Amino acid sequence: MMKKYLALILMIFVVSTAVFAQQTPTENPWKQNFPDGLIDAQQNHLSVDNLEGKIVGLYFSASWCRGCAAFSRTFVPFRNKHQKEFEVVMVGFDYSAPEMNDYMNKYKMEWPAIPYDSPARLAMKERFNVSEIPTLIIMAPNGQVLTKDGHQQVMDMEDGAVAHWQKLASEMETFESVHENIR
């Protein structure tokens, strides 16, 4: 009986390792996630390479959302204080590109955005099943999700949120390294 349980555990481990290996992102996950590149609020194209090595927050937000406006007043200074290790990418929920750009300019959001007309913008909404805003999804430098609760963590942890995300990313790297050695 014990051999059957051990065989079952081994099988689950092998399958989960194989699934994990298939989900490991390519070398530059940002080029994969943002194939049309990124823009700033003035419609200038920005390189996705600027995201490499950083924790990235996907900020789902819109000008018409009162909660978004309230959070943006806190979030913009937060991002600016931590921009060496943390970057934001706007995923606009506005009704048009000019509305999104005006919103970013009004609140001085000096971070990149997915172009409004890019299929990647809608794909992100679907991929993460975002139905309410503001939503802040935090991703590790390798492109894997650290938390879908970034908005609340910024509100609760304030500056400690970045250290928390860095710890999660480090633990994820350690986990990946262990699995790499097992394979």
**Model pLDDT, residue 59:** 98
pTM, to two decimals: 0.81
Q: 183 falls in which pLDDT band (50, 70, 90)?
A: low
Over the range 126-165, which residues count as b (16 or more CB within 10 Å of their CB) and which as e? Answer: eeeebeebbbbbbbbbbbbebbeebbebbeeeeeebbeeb
Q: What average pLDDT score do residues 20-36 get?
A: 69
Locus of tokens 């409004």: 116
Phi-psi region of 182 (alpha: psi -120 to 50; beta: other; left: phi over 0): alpha
**Domains of the chain (ranges plus CATH)?**
26-182 (3.40.30.10)
3-state secondary structure of 51: helix
Helix, strand, coil percentages (3-state) for the chain, rounded to 5, are: 55, 15, 30
Rounded Cα distance between 116 and 92, Å, is: 7
Per-residue pLDDT tens for 62-86? 999 999 999 999 999 999 999 999 9
Residue percentage of the chain with pLDDT more than 90: 76
Structure tokens at 181: 């050695």
> Do residues 143 and 30 lie in contact, with contact meaning Cβ atoms separated by under 8 Å?
yes
